Amino acid sequence: MTDSDSTPEPIRSLEARYYTDPEIFRLEQAGLLARTWQFAGHSSLVNKPGDYFTFTIAGENLFCIRNREGELHGFYNVCQHRAHELLSGEGNTREVVCPYHAWTYTLNGQLRIGPNINSVPGFERQQICLTPVRIEVFHGFVFANLDANAAPMDEWFPGVRDQLKAFVPDIDRLQPLEWIDTPEACNWKVSVENYSECYHCTINHRAFATGVIKPNTYDIQPQGHCLRHTTESANLERMSYPIDLDSNEHAGDYSSWFLWPMFSFQVYPGNILNTYHWRAEDSDHVTVWRGWYTIDGTDSEVIRRLASQDRATTVEEDIHLVESVQRGLNSRGYKPGPLVLDPACGLRSEHSVHALQQWMRDAIKPEKQS
């Protein structure tokens, strides 16, 4: 056997169809996105009994509501009479009343009354309830899962809850200050892959690579179904905002936790939290919803300036990158190339993309075999 015979073949990137084929996207909607933890909204929207907000997961219209006992519930946003949608947007209500025929549900989802239902022999009102949806609150962030048997978030993302608390000691007091929606003309997985590797950072993100991180210390490692980004921070004395390095252990640190498949917590020096939420529109379009937070949602010129700087630099740079990739994936000239998998990992390795792409393959296998 020659040396060349014993050399393993490089691992290649996913075939283009994973990013371009509407049927793959349909399978993801029916399977992956319906049985994973998806960001629904922030708990500050539902502080009081009767507060609610609506949201969408895997094409399903849903809502989250706080009951009179202070508990959060999630439900499919559909009346159990003749399927009219119940709520829209966000607000507060004493009861959930269907606009179509005024069937009325308690904040626990139980049918309370409906016009003339008592005239129906055998009508068992107590047996009619809105269809529930799994809800978890993760440091004030509300996540939902359409799979009633899904493992809890702490099993999906081991250690993340405690790590976030250490990096953002006041995370449970944070509320959204600013949301920035960024449409991208690409498949959601192209955008997620771009976020989940820094092989391109020193080439394309000068502000980030020279002003926030030390590239030679950057690494990304799987942590359950989380990809954890770690690095030493660079040039803290040149940051555009003051940082009290003595305030806590991680005041001068940057880190990120990508929660498969469509959400990320990102912490900048100064314990500043930024989040990413990918919302897949179709096989060729995604909207990335970036959130910035302050204690109690108090206005902050520092945070607003950071959000503006981020949008003008890293975000804008990424839009051009991912949209170019999507165009390339639609080219007949593209053949999946080898991933750069450095055994030492680090910034110039794509081992995190390899992990992502394995999750992507696994995500549609059950549907394709059924």
Mean pLDDT (whole number) for 327-335: 97
| Nearest in space to 262 (alpha carbons), one of 314, 227, 229 | 227
Cis upstream peptide for 152 (omega within 30°): no
Q: How far apart are CA 139 and CA 333, in angstroms?
A: 46
Q: In the structure, what pLDDT confidence band is assigned to residue 252 with cuts at 50, 70 and 90?
A: confident
In the chain, what are the domains? 38-145 (2.102.10.10), 158-369 (3.90.380.10)
Mean pLDDT of the chain: 92
Q: In the structure, what pLDDT confidence band is assigned to residue 370 with cuts at 50, 70 and 90?
A: very low
Q: What is the pLDDT of residues 261-271, one digit of tens each?
A: 999 999 988 99
- Lowest mean pLDDT segment, chosen from 4-8, 58-62, 216-220, 332-336: 4-8
Q: Residue 93: pLDDT above 60? A: yes
Q: Which residue has the higher pLDDT, 48 or 199?
A: 48
Q: What is the pLDDT of residues 25-59, one digit of tens each?
A: 999 999 999 999 999 999 999 999 999 999 999 99
Q: In the structure, what pLDDT confidence band is assigned to residue 209 with cuts at 50, 70 and 90?
A: low
The pLDDT, as a whole number, for residue 161 is 98
Question: End-to-end CA distance of the chain, in Å?
Answer: 42
Q: How far apart are CA 274 and CA 88, in angstroms?
A: 27
The answer to whether 275 touches 288, Cβ cutoff 8 Å, is: no
In degrees and rounded to multiples of 5, residue 309 shows phi and psi of: -65, -45
- Lowest mean pLDDT segment, chosen from 147-156, 157-166, 251-260: 251-260
The answer to whether 230 touches 255, Cβ cutoff 8 Å, is: yes
Q: How far apart are CA 271 and CA 208, in angstroms?
A: 17
Q: Which uninterrupted H or E stretch holds 32?
A: none
Q: Which residue has the higher pLDDT, 24 or 239?
A: 24
Distances (CA, A) of 42 to 140, 143, 317: 6, 9, 28
Name the pTM for this structure. Answer: 0.92
In the chain, alpha helices (H): 3-6, 17-20, 22-30, 153-156, 160-167, 188-195, 201-204, 206-211, 301-310, 316-329, 351-369
Tokens of 190: 């192209």
Q: Where are the beta strands (DSSP E) in the chain?
A: 38-42, 51-57, 60-66, 72-76, 90-92, 96-97, 104-105, 111-113, 132-138, 141-145, 174-184, 219-223, 226-231, 254-259, 263-268, 272-282, 285-295
**For the stretch 339-362, what's the b/e string if a residue is b when 16 or more beta carbons lie within 10 angstroms of its beta carbon?**
beeeeeebbbbbbbbbbbbebbee
The pLDDT, as a whole number, for residue 201 is 75
The answer to whether 32 touches 365, Cβ cutoff 8 Å, is: no
Report the share of the chain in percent with pLDDT over 70. Answer: 96
Q: In the structure, what pLDDT confidence band is assigned to residue 366 with cuts at 50, 70 and 90?
A: low
Q: State whether residue 248 is helix, strand or coil.
A: coil
Q: In the structure, what pLDDT confidence band is assigned to residue 233 with cuts at 50, 70 and 90?
A: confident
